[in-house]
Amino acid sequence: MKLIKGYPESMRESIEKVEKTREKRLKAQYKQMSLEERDDVLNKYHPDYKPEVKRTLSVGPSKGEIVPFEVADLIESYPRISEKDIDLSNIDYDVDLLIIGGGGAGTMAGIWATYEGIDPEDILMTTKLRHGDSNSIMAQGGIQAADKPNDSPEIHYLDVIGGGHFANEPDLVEALVSDGPGVIKWFEEKGVMFDKQKDGTMITMHGGGTSRKRMHSAKDYTGMELLRVIRDEFINLSIPAVEFSPAIELLMDDKGQVAGAVLFNIETHQYYVVRAKSTVMATGGFGRLHIQGFPTTNHYGATADGLAMAYRCGARLRDMDSVQYHPTGAAFPEQIVGLLITEKVRGLGAQPLNKEGEMFVHPLEPRDVESAAFIKECYGAGGGVETPTGMQGIWLDSPMINMIKGEGVTERELSAMYRMFKRFDINMVEDPILVFPTLHYQNGGIVIDANGATEVKGLFAGGEVTGGVHGKNRLMGNSLLDYSVFGRRAGISAARHAKKASVGKLTLAHVTKYSEQLKKAGVPESRKSPMILPEYRGKNVLSRAIDIF
Amino acid sequence: MAESNKIPLVSVFIMGKEYKVPSGLTLMKAMEYAGYRYTRGAGCRAGFCGACATIYRLKNDYKLKSALACQTTVDEGMYLVQLPFTPANKKKYDMEKLNIAHNALLKEYPEIARCISCNSCTKVCPQELKVMDYVQASLRGDIEKAATLSFDCVQCGLCAFRCPAEITQYHVGQLARRLNGKFVAPKAAHTEEAVAKVLSGVIKEEISKLKAMNLAEIKEIYKKRSIE
């Protein structure tokens, strides 16, 4: 296929139309939808509003809740180990605090548990891949916090609740927005390089659904910059971390508390027993379940292991019916389909356009509304741009950014995006880029209180694995804030709990009990979780693979 | 041979062993197509985490090139290997006890003085950063420059592998950025003020009013909120 500066002839024709309307659009604004209009487009076009893609959970503490099939299959799965497989009398790690997950929330929990007086040697972090391999490091656009004179946490509170369709847990939202300014100050003290003006004022922008410019950024590497700094701090504190060893089951004790976990070394296949007075679940979200077959922005290990494990211990889930599709996943070229195009691209001025180069939606509606509007334009109005593989997409008119903000702004502020497209011979300063909604975030999760405590004694949680903070839809920039606030709170609470807790006899009886419930409900025994990693090997290879070695 | 409407195949040599894979795949997806299941060498799969540093050589070329496997397309006759880990030296330090004296970076990482300006680090960087320049800036004590030049580093470790002076450039850059963020960049006064406001308790009061509202009331307030 012949490509002209990265695009085939067929797409070039549409780009010409985009160029023709650009002059006029530079001065034009598209109006925002009313709440009623939002509901209408969501009901008709958002993938989450289709009842036929979900089912009711038939066992466990959230029995009766409606969740996507992929989540139901993960939850209603048999454990990978049974009581007879594991020798619990031999403890490999005996600690005060076990942190499961090495992303933002887990890292914050470890740091703050140390500040709370737990000896680093009495902490263990365990992670599936490397410390830092997470969605946290991939976040691009920014972190919200109400720290400007025209802003205040109660204004942030309203934005969060409205964006979440008023389904959020008020106490959690209060914690999120109230801790916001303190989180930014702490990051600044730790040496995060925020985008600032010469006098130190933070450069802040709008995100979808915000009423004040409160998005703090570090170019379009915000997540990477924050994670690099806190990981560095974590290592400096000498907190032990065991990599490539995901937890595959939580342990409980005879008093009904969570009391550690069984880890699995994915390289040697050895298991380890961890006994812990407190356990923090920070395993992140579920993008790699590919809900409804969508591509995802998520990292390789985002398989929602924590949900499955915590559920077997009696932790309730909430808002798991709601899935966030980010409006702007890459739709071309094929090599990067589904990868995140930060909301900051629209924040800086790029308009979403159909194949005729026309505007059809305000660029910064809340994410679910913006996504639904894109899907409507492609599959309802016939306005989508078709790629050579038959995929539909919407133009993001990125050349507008430098026209509005000045030469060099895209290259500087969006260096990750600019670099990614350049690798595939597309110059986003000269040509628009093609996008389509992509699976991005798990809005719901494990029920927690404002201190990061779950309803199960000994188990704490923070970050994407939890539910309630974002209701039915998270706003941009609130996930980095979420892990900072609730990773910290969970770490502090877990530390305080560990100081006074005592652990009884370790057991996996809860796992046996859960398996019996599944059997009674008629769940096929072939279904196992946690998933640990998705399966992407070629079909040809798998069809001829034999397990003899 | 494949049907005419099928994607043409190319040969790639994964650690020297030949596999036929569809053209247009990234190196990472090509490895998976060939039957490899990643444990090491794959992280974010989007160019942000540095897990998939790859060394490759093209057909009839003597040059070793570098790439991120998730961000690079396969080419006919490519020989490739991924680096699963970098055994690099990272210093432990207490940020509160550091300063930005001219030798601040040199003190923690004295090996930067061994730089022979060969530029191998810059040539190997898959992010196309001016790595040697930031090592030199670090040596001169120009923390701000070292921080800015190293900012887009994904810490894949390729520079450290290539360096004949055994410098761990990406850890030096990390320290430079933290020193810059903490001591060089001006502080945000408005953040300090916002924190004080939260501590004063007025925010709690305002939010408790919102929390006391019923659904219809809060929806109304939300609809009427001003957007600045």
CB contact under 8 A, A190 and B189: no
Q: What is the pLDDT of residue A1?
A: 75
- Residues of chain A in contact with residue B29, where contact means CB-CB under 8 angstroms, are 335, 536
Check if CATH label 3.90.700.10 holds for domain A12-45+323-439: yes
- Residue-range definition of the domain harbouring residue B22: 9-82
Please identify, among B184, B202, B220, the residue that sits at the C-terminal boundary of a domain.
B184
Q: By CA distance, what is B226's nearest residue in A?
A: A211
For residues B177 and B107, state if they share a domain. Answer: yes
Please give the pLDDT value at position B15.
97
Q: Where are the domains of chain A?
A: 12-45+323-439, 79-321+443-507
pLDDT tens digits along B124-172: 999 999 999 999 999 999 999 999 999 999 999 999 999 999 999 999 9
Q: B93: which chain A residues are within 8 Å (Cβ-Cβ)? A: 236
Q: Is A155 close to B225, i.e. CB distance below 8 A?
A: yes
The verdict on residue B201 lying in a domain is: no
Size of interface A-B (CB pairs under 8 A): 236
Query: For residue B215, is it within any domain?
Result: no
Q: What is the 3-state secondary structure (H, E, C) of B150-191?
A: CCCCCCCCHHHHHCCCCCCHHHHHHHHHHHHHHHHCCCCHHH
Please list every residue in chain A whose beta carbon sits closer than 8 Å to the beta carbon of residue B42: 129, 300
* Chain A residues within 8 A of B35 when measuring between CB atoms: 537-538, 541-542, 545
Domain contains B198? no
Q: Are A504 and A259 in contact (CB under 8 A)?
A: yes
In a domain, B106, yes or no: yes
Residue B198 has, within 13 A of its CA and on its CB side, a CA count of 25
Q: Are residues B99 and B169 in the same domain?
A: yes
Which residues of A does the annotation mark as catalytic? 367
* B182/A190 CB distance under 8 A: yes
Task: Dig out the tokens for A546 from the structure.
Answer: 């034999």
CA distance A521 to chain B (A): 33
Taking an 8 Å cut-off on Cβ atoms, the answer to whether A191 and B179 are in contact is: yes
Taking a C-beta distance cutoff of 8 angstroms, is the pair A424, A333 a contact? yes
Chain B residue at shortest CA distance from A172:
B211
Give me the pLDDT at residue B4, please.
42
pLDDT per residue of chain A (549 residues) written in tens, 0 to 9: 789 999 999 999 999 999 999 999 999 989 999 999 999 999 999 999 998 999 999 999 999 999 999 999 999 999 999 999 999 999 999 999 999 999 999 999 999 999 999 999 999 999 999 999 999 999 999 999 999 999 999 999 999 999 999 999 999 999 999 999 999 999 999 999 999 999 999 999 999 999 999 999 999 999 999 999 999 999 999 999 999 999 999 999 999 999 999 999 999 999 999 999 999 999 999 999 999 999 999 999 999 999 999 999 999 999 999 999 999 999 999 999 999 999 999 999 999 999 999 999 999 999 999 999 999 999 999 999 999 989 999 999 999 999 999 999 999 999 999 999 999 999 999 999 999 999 999 999 999 999 999 999 999 999 999 999 999 999 999 999 999 999 999 999 999 999 999 999 999 999 999 999 999 999 999 999 999 999 999 999 999 999 898
- Residue ranges with strand state E in chain B: 9-14, 17-22, 53-57, 65-68, 78-82
User: Which chain B residue shows the shortest CA-CA distance from A268?
Assistant: B39
Where b means 16+ CB within 10 Å and e means fewer, A168-204 reads bbbbbbbbbbbbbbbbbbbbbebbbbbbbeeebebeb
Compare all CA atoms of chain B with the CA of A209 and give the residue at the minimum distance: B227
Structural domain tally of chain B? 2
- CATH 3.30.70.2390 given to domain A79-321+443-507: no
pLDDT of residue B7: 83
Instruction: Give chain B positions within 8 Å (CB) of A155.
Output: 225
Q: Choose among A482, A413, A398: nearest CA to A441.
A: A482
B107 in a domain, yes or no?
yes
Q: Which H or E run includes A459?
A: strand A459-461
Same domain, B102 and B163: yes
Shared domain check, B45 and B15: yes
Among A170, A211, A335, beta carbon nearest to B73: A335
**CATH at residue B122:** 1.10.1060.10
Query: Could you give the angle at the alpha carbon of A325 between the alpha carbons of A207 and A367, nearest 5°?
Result: 25
CATH number at B30 reads: 3.10.20.740
Say if residues A446 and A281 touch (Cβ distance below 8 Å): yes
Rounded to whole angstroms, the Cα distance separating A180 from A484 reads 9
Contacts B206 to A, Cβ<8 Å: 152-154
Q: Which two tokens stand for residue A84?
A: 């007879």
State how far Cα A524 lies from the chain centre.
Answer: 30
Option in A153, A158, A424 nearest B203 (CB): A153
Last residue of a domain, one of B32, B50, B82: B82
Structural domain contains residue B88: no
Q: Is A423's CB within 8 Å of B72's CB?
A: yes
Considering only the beta carbons, identify the residue of B73, B152, B226 that sits closest to A221.
B152
Type and span of the H or E element at A394 = strand A392-396
Interface test with B, best of A199, A217, A228, A298 (most B CBs within 10 A): A228
Q: Per the domain annotation, does B100 fall within a domain?
A: yes
- The verdict on B72 and B117 lying in the same domain is no
- Please answer yes or no on whether A545 and B147 come within 8 Å at the CB atom: no
The reported pTM is 0.96
The two tokens of residue A91 are 């403890």
Decide if B4 is inside a domain. Answer: no
**3-class SS at B82?**
strand
How do the pLDDT tens digits run along chain B, 228 residues long? Answer: 334 457 899 999 999 999 999 999 999 999 999 999 999 999 999 999 999 999 999 999 999 999 999 999 999 999 999 999 999 989 999 999 999 999 999 999 999 999 999 999 999 999 999 999 999 999 999 999 999 999 999 999 999 999 999 999 999 999 999 999 999 999 999 999 999 999 999 999 999 999 999 999 999 999 999 999
